[in-house]
Structure formats: C-alpha cells, structure tokens
Structure 1
Amino acid sequence: MPHFARVGEFPRKRHTVFRQPDGSLYWEELIGEDGFVGDTSLVYHRNPPTALTAIEPIPVAGEELVPNHPITPLHLQPRLLSLKGDAVLDRSTLVGNDDVRIAYAVATETSTLYKNSVGDELAYVESGHGTLESTFGRLDVSEGDHVIVPTSTIHRWVVPDGVELRLLIVQATGHIDPPSRYLSARGQFLEGTPYCELDIRRPEELVFDEGTDVPVVVRTRTGLTRHVHRHHPFDVVGWHGGMYPWAFSIFDFEPITGRLHQPPPTQQTFEARGFVMCAFVPRLLDYHPDAVPIPPSHSNVDSDEFLFYAKGAANTRRGSGVGIGSVTVHPAGFIHGPHPGTVERALGADRIDEYQVMLDTHRPLMISAAARSVLDGDYPFSWAAMEEKEIKTDA
C-alpha cells in the first residue's frame, strides 16, 4: 500500500537509538518489498523477532492441482465442501497456477499465527465478521471486505463465538496493488477512479500478546513450515511505513457506467503478477435506447476467468444452476456469455443487483480434488440445453 502510516511509539528518526523503559534497546524489524526499493515498514519489538526455538515441517494435503483437460468450463459449489475451523490450516484450495492459488475457508475459531512468504494474500469476506490481528495491529472486517495481507506479515484471524467467517482467499506469488492507472506518479488515487483513500481502512490500534515458544505457520514455495518463536510476535510498540494490512469494501466500489456496455477493465479493483481482479456491483445499466445491457458472448483469449457469485442476482446465468456462492471458471479456449433467453429478458432493464468478484489469470488455471468434488457436470452443456428449451418454448 503506497500511503505512509504510523501507529504507536517510535523514534524521531529511523535507525536511531530507541530505548525501552528499562534502558535496553527496542528491536527494529525492517520489512521491505522488491529488495527494499519498494514499500517498506519499520516495526519496533520489545524482544528480538529472530529468536526461534524449533523449526518443524507441516504435512500438506489437498493442494495438488491437475490441468483442466479436456478444456472445460466449470461450475463449482464451494459451499458444499465440509469446511469448518481454522482459516489457515483448514482452508481448501480450489484452483491455481504458478502465479496464484484460490482457496475457500469457513472459519469458526481463531486461527493459528501465520505468514505467507510467497506473496500477498487477499481474503474476500463472503459473510460473517471478525478481526485480522497482526504485528501491525487490529483490523475489523465484515461481509464484502477485500482484506490485503502483505507478504510475510505475521497474522491471525479472530472469529467471535458462534460466527462463521466465510473467506475466498487469493494467494499471490507477488504483490496485490491498486491498478497503476488509478494512481498519480506520487501514488495518490486519481479523480474518476472507482475507489480512493477515503474507502481504505488500516490498523490504527496495536495488538499486544505475551508468551514463549509461540508457533507460527510459514508458507513457502515448497510447502508449510512451523517456526516456534521464543517471544510472541505481537510485542510491537509501534511502526511506520507504507507496507501493512488494509481493507476495502466492495460496498464502497463506485461502478463506471455508460450508454453502451462497458468492458471488464472499468470494474477493476486490483492488479498483481499474473492476474487482475474486478468487482461487479449494483449499478445503472446502459442507457442507449437500443442498448443490450449485459455482456455479449466473449473470448478472453489471454486469460482464464474465475468468477465468484457473492451476493445479489446471477442474471446472466439464470436457469443454469449457478447461484449465490457459486464459482464459474471460463478458460481461454471457451467462448462464454449469457445463457439463451437472458439477452431478451434483459432488454429494457435499467439496473442490475449483483456482487461478484472476478479474477482473470494470465496462465491457465488448474483444478484441485476438492474442486472436482463439488463440480456441476451439467454446466458445460447448459447453453445447448437451454437453447433447446427456448426453441421448444417458442414452438
């Protein structure tokens, strides 16, 4: 996140003497992106953050992916997965490639401490509420939030008793940022962008915790490792910089509309190495008198399209079995678009009520065993089936 922030206590100048009440020095931790020529933050600990007492491997199952072959459009129903527990250890990978993995979690308890050293994570809150606690402090989250957790940030998901916090989790292999075209040369959001600094929330209150021999799960490119820290990582007295967790609600996204159909880049929320993200929200539809106010059939020749139907109506998939909580994957090589009958029903409509989260990935998405277990096998043929139904109805 390119905006400087500061919380808690810190010295007047960076990398200068900063003493604790007992006269000992606080411990600096410099966290930096891109070899310290990108965003950085300086975090001040009461104890050395480097002190480990054990290092252990963690067996990982269910993250294996296989190619989508023969190339097939997919309709997944992740709500059918038997998921409850820890948002870190009990998440279920759905699809992914070398740039990104997308998982689903139903968090019903506070998670283990965790950091992803491969890249940033973005969690979209489908439903429920809770708190992201990290070395940067406390960030309350609720339905509709996109929560961005920077690479190697130690954090945990805190879930109140009796709450199910449903998360769609995007695990990048780089950094997830606002689109560069939204920002000035100095990093300020430009006029006319669909969200801006006023819509962004960040930690403003530190979290303090104590303890010894504290386990932290670390994700690397080769799997999961457990580091046991001599001191609790949440011993921070202050921090300053431009790298920290932040949240942006889909309910604060201001859609761009026009007389005729607007392409998906007008709905973009984030960009990352190997993929982009978009949000589709309630909006006025195209207002040319002859407008067809829904997307045409289309081939995104350079991307696979992952679409999560979060809330509202799934009008372009009406009658196909796709509904709220569904995921569709339309791979490059497959022409997709509205189902038969949808275009005629849409003519004259002036508004759409939907909340959808989309990723377009530059490399093909592969599929997990969990995804295959909640696969709608009829979906690839639903266009033909509904066309036949339309013909019979007209006859």
Structure 2
Amino acid sequence: MSGDTRKTAEGLTYLSGFGNEHGSEAVPGALPEGRNSPQRAPLGLYAEQLSGSAFTEPRATNRRSWLYRIRPSAAHPPFTETHNGWIRTAPFTEAVPDPNRLRWNPLPEPGDGTDFLAGLWTLGGNGDATQRTGMAVHLYHANASMDRVFSDADGELLIVPERGGLLLHTEFGMLHVEPAHVALIPRGVRFRVELLDDSARGYVCENYGAPFRLPDLGTIGANGLANARDFRAPVAAYEDVEGPVEVVNKFCGNLWRATYDHSPLDVVAWHGNHVPYVYDLRRFNVIGTISYDHPDPSIFTVLTAPSDTPGLAGVDFVVFAPRWLVGEDTFRPPYFHRNVMSEYMGLIEGAYDAKAEGFVPGGGSLHNMMSAHGPDRETFDRASAAELKPQKVDDGLAFMFETRWPVTLTAHAAQAEHLQPHYDDVWKGLERHFRPLH
C-alpha cells in the first residue's frame, strides 16, 4: 500500500448501555447532524448503512450502523474463490457426531509468515451457515501480522486470546486485545489483525445465529455478571491509503479474494449499534452461593446468542473467573453431570479447578450433549477431603462455548496429532464407596 495514512490515536469509547446507539468521528464535523444520509455527506464522504439484522426486526434486536467513508464499499472489483486453508463451515459433514469425551493439546507451531487468517483452524461446529443457525469452534496460532483485510459474511467472530496481544484494525477503529480480554467483530465488518508480540494463540467462536447480547438477569436483579458499561468500542480511525490491498471475504463457507486499489478501512466517522467491542473478563462480577450447593454453570454467562426457543441459546459464552467458594457441606469443584447442551472448554491461563493435569492453556476439551463428565479422580479425592473454609479460586481463567446442538468435528480435528488419545483415563480409579447400612 502507498499513500497517506491518517488515523486517530488508538483509543476506546464506552458502550454505555450495551446494544444502544453510539458514535465516533476521527475528524470534527464528519458526522452529519440530524440526517443519516443527507444529499451531501460532510467533508465529501459517502454515507453507507451496514445492517446486521433485517430492516424490519424489532427495535430491541435491530442492528445497524451508519458509516461515513472515503469510498463506498461498492467500489471494488469482482471476488474470486481462493483456498480455505484449515477453515471449515457448517454444515459439518466430514465426520459423524462423536459422543466420546475429547481433549486436545494446543495447536502446533505454525510455519513462518502465518497470519491470523492463515492460522485459523476449525475444530468443528453445528447448524448451517447459509440458514444463519449454529456455530463453529476455531483456534488460531499466528506469527505474522496481516497485510490483508478480512470480513466474515457467515457470522460474527468472538476472539478469545490465550497468548500474545492483538491490535484489531477495523472499519470502526482499533481494538487492543490482550489475553483475558475478548473481542467481538460483527458479521460483515472488515478488519486486519496486527500482532503485538512475536506470536499469538487463542480461540474463536463463529456465531452464525442471532448476535451475542447480555443475558437477562432474572431474579439476580439489576446488577451482576457482565456490566454493560464495561464493553468498549473503538474510537473512529481511518486509513487514507492507495492500494493494492487484498481483501478476503468468507461467504457461505468459502473464502473469496479481491484486490482493491485502496484500503477499505477508510471510515472517518460512524454511529450505530452494529459495532465491534472489547471486554475485560477480569471485570466479570461472579454471582455464586453463600450457603450451600452449586448454582448451575449458566450463572457464569457473559454473552448469549438466543435461539427461537426462549432460554435455549444457539451459543453461550461462559467464563470461570476468579471467585470465592464458601458453600457449607458442598463438593466445591464442578459436579459430575450430563447436559443437553454441548460444551467446548478452553483455558486462557493457569489451571482449571476440576482437572489436575492434561488441560493446559491453549488446549481444549469437548463434551457433547449427554456425555458424562466432571472432576477427575485426583480432584475428586482431594476435594472430598478438603477442609471447607472460604477459598479464593484465582489461579486460572477458563471459558466455555456452550451450544444447543452437538459439535461435529472436522476431519483434521478428529485425526489431529495433538488430540489426546487417553482422555477417558482421567476418570479411572473412581472407586466404589457405597456401603449399605444393613
């Protein structure tokens, strides 16, 4: 790329009132007053609406933003299909759904020059991207910054870094994302990933369905879990750059590329609610028992993507953040259970309190619907004999992508060398302790 690059200093603005209208301008006067699409937009810009929902959806769920840009998005050459690499998209048909409990080590080291897009590796998923239902689990491992721009027409991308910081250059501005943060790129928003360290590794949930939102709090009341005020959007920034620039678009499961003669990250001002954001998981306000027993894991939900069935999510994003355990006469690690939902769990840092070993940062486990799981034998023995005094769990940060349908693996995930071959062994040795009274 050549030419003049202009942008504001990196910054964030609070999304006070999650999902409500927000705006930012990199140049004073770039946002029009009172009209979204005046006859002549300010400063010679083009007005363009980006819709993340149908025009006629209810106001509470309607997602759209107005972008005031140097060139309209329509000014580009044709796209041609390109190689997908390790990316796969629903429907997943390479393997049959597997009821076994599965666990993977972290992705192996990538080859030199692997950027975020080339480093995406699909584990599996469900639904059908062309019908806007379901989700996919991806991991990434990269060692080079992108010099191309990417957008995903199939779904929104929830990025969960585990190693290495990222600077996401988006149409709306820049998001600085570190491990223990998550970033969301809405459907169709163009972005480029710059690495802030020598390499970067983490997880991505691609949500084909209704956009993520904050869960309802019900009897919790007005406060708790993730607070709307802690989600932050980028300050407007723009690139006034002449091409060539490679732009890659994911559409119905395939990657398509075109070479623009300018950067598409040329939005000078914006307003709306279809915007990227970042959230610091350390700000999650954990709610838990102060008497006995466990609340269900749903109490740790950060974001939920609702389905057509009330209370049944297409996908939930759940975080097991630092918290106090104080329950009386209660087995404190997560209990043994089977679940109608399917759970992919990853580890950002430290250790997870239900597993003694084998579950490591950058790795992950899959427990599909109704597969029995819970603490391993060593954890069970230790927790059953532990002194029940107040205990701070602050040596790890784990999360789940929890989904309504089974996660079907890709062929390369089912055959991966980093798939642990003997995961079931962690439950060996759970001996019979039953002693009838008579």
Residue 318 (structure 1) aligned with residue 356 (structure 2): yes
Q: Distance in 2 between matches of 1:56 and 1:314?
A: 44
Residue 73 (structure 1) aligned with residue 101 (structure 2): yes
The 1:206–1:114 alpha-carbon spacing in structure 2 relative to 1, beyond 3 Å, is: same
For residue 4 of structure 2, what is the aligned residue in structure 1?
Answer: none
For residue 186 of structure 1, what is the aligned residue in structure 2?
Answer: none
Q: Distance in 1 between matches of 2:21 and 2:172?
A: 13
Asked if the contact 1:261–1:286 (Cα under 8 Å) also holds between the matched residues in 2, the reply is: no
Residue 15 (structure 1) aligned with residue 15 (structure 2): no
**Structure 2 length normalisation: TM-score?**
0.80
- Give the counterpart letter for 1:267 in structure 2: F
Asked if the contact 1:332–1:364 (Cα under 8 Å) also holds between the matched residues in 2, the reply is: yes
Residue 46 (structure 1) aligned with residue 77 (structure 2): no
Structure 2's unaligned 5+ residue stretches are 1-17, 128-133, 308-313, 434-438
The 1:177–1:70 alpha-carbon spacing in structure 2 relative to 1, beyond 3 Å, is: closer
SS of equivalent to 1:266 = helix
The 1:234–1:80 alpha-carbon spacing in structure 2 relative to 1, beyond 3 Å, is: closer
Asked if the contact 1:314–1:322 (Cα under 8 Å) also holds between the matched residues in 2, the reply is: yes
Asked if the contact 2:135–2:205 (Cα under 8 Å) also holds between the matched residues in 1, the reply is: yes
SS of equivalent to 1:228 = strand
1:352 CA drift (Å):
1.8
Map residues 159-198 of structure 1 onto 2, 5 A cutoff. 159-160=195-196, 162-182=197-217, 191-198=222-229
For residue 233 of structure 1, what is the aligned residue in structure 2?
Answer: 264
Q: Distance in 2 between matches of 1:70 and 1:172?
A: 21
Q: Distance in 2 between matches of 1:70 and 1:174?
A: 23
- Give the counterpart letter for 2:393 in structure 1: I
Q: Distance in 2 between matches of 1:141 and 1:324?
A: 17
Asked if the contact 1:206–1:236 (Cα under 8 Å) also holds between the matched residues in 2, the reply is: yes
For residue 107 of structure 1, what is the aligned residue in structure 2?
Answer: 142
- Give the counterpart letter for 1:42 in structure 2: W
- CA deviations 1:162-215 (Å, max 9, x no partner) are 5322221111113432334149xxxxx972221213311110141324113422
Quick one: which of 305, 327, 331 aligns to 2:364? Answer: 327
Q: Distance in 2 between matches of 1:316 and 1:16?
A: 58
Residue 284 (structure 1) aligned with residue 308 (structure 2): no
1:69 CA drift (Å):
5.2
SS of equivalent to 2:168 = strand
The 1:379–1:113 alpha-carbon spacing in structure 2 relative to 1, beyond 3 Å, is: same
Map residues 294-309 of structure 1 onto 2, 5 A cutoff. 294-300=333-339, 302-309=340-347
Residue 377 (structure 1) aligned with residue 414 (structure 2): no
- Give the counterpart letter for 1:307 in structure 2: M
Map residues 5-154 of structure 1 onto 2, 5 A cutoff. 5-8=22-25, 9-12=30-33, 13-19=35-41, 21=43, 25-36=44-55, 37=57, 38-63=62-87, 65=92, 66-67=94-95, 71-80=99-108, 82=110, 85-98=114-127, 99-111=134-146, 112-154=148-190
The 1:333–1:196 alpha-carbon spacing in structure 2 relative to 1, beyond 3 Å, is: closer
Q: Distance in 2 between matches of 1:30 and 1:70?
A: 42
Provide the identity percentage: 22
SS of equivalent to 1:358 = strand
- CA deviations 1:331-362 (Å, max 9, x no partner) are 12321111124234223262223211101111
The 1:91–1:383 alpha-carbon spacing in structure 2 relative to 1, beyond 3 Å, is: same
The 1:39–1:19 alpha-carbon spacing in structure 2 relative to 1, beyond 3 Å, is: closer
1:257 CA drift (Å):
1.4
1:389 CA drift (Å):
12
- CA deviations 1:22-70 (Å, max 9, x no partner) are xxx4211101122123121100112232112232111224345533555
Q: Distance in 2 between matches of 1:268 and 1:152?
A: 25
The 1:324–1:29 alpha-carbon spacing in structure 2 relative to 1, beyond 3 Å, is: same
SS of equivalent to 1:97 = strand
Q: Distance in 2 between matches of 1:383 and 1:264?
A: 21
Quick one: which of 273, 279, 300 aligns to 1:242? Answer: 273
Asked if the contact 1:316–1:339 (Cα under 8 Å) also holds between the matched residues in 2, the reply is: yes
Q: Distance in 2 between matches of 1:19 and 1:77?
A: 52
For residue 404 of structure 2, what is the aligned residue in structure 1?
Answer: 362
1:238 CA drift (Å):
0.7
Q: Distance in 1 between matches of 2:221 and 2:430?
A: 45
- Give the counterpart letter for 1:30 in structure 2: Q
Q: Distance in 1 between matches of 2:143 and 2:233?
A: 24
Q: Distance in 1 between matches of 2:66 and 2:280?
A: 27
For residue 430 of structure 2, what is the aligned residue in structure 1?
Answer: 387
Asked if the contact 2:317–2:400 (Cα under 8 Å) also holds between the matched residues in 1, the reply is: yes
Residue 264 (structure 1) aligned with residue 297 (structure 2): yes
1:305 CA drift (Å):
1.0
Q: Distance in 2 between matches of 1:83 and 1:245?
A: 29
The 1:249–1:389 alpha-carbon spacing in structure 2 relative to 1, beyond 3 Å, is: farther
The 1:369–1:293 alpha-carbon spacing in structure 2 relative to 1, beyond 3 Å, is: same
The alignment covers a number of residue pairs equal to: 377
1:298 CA drift (Å):
0.4
Asked if the contact 1:32–1:40 (Cα under 8 Å) also holds between the matched residues in 2, the reply is: yes
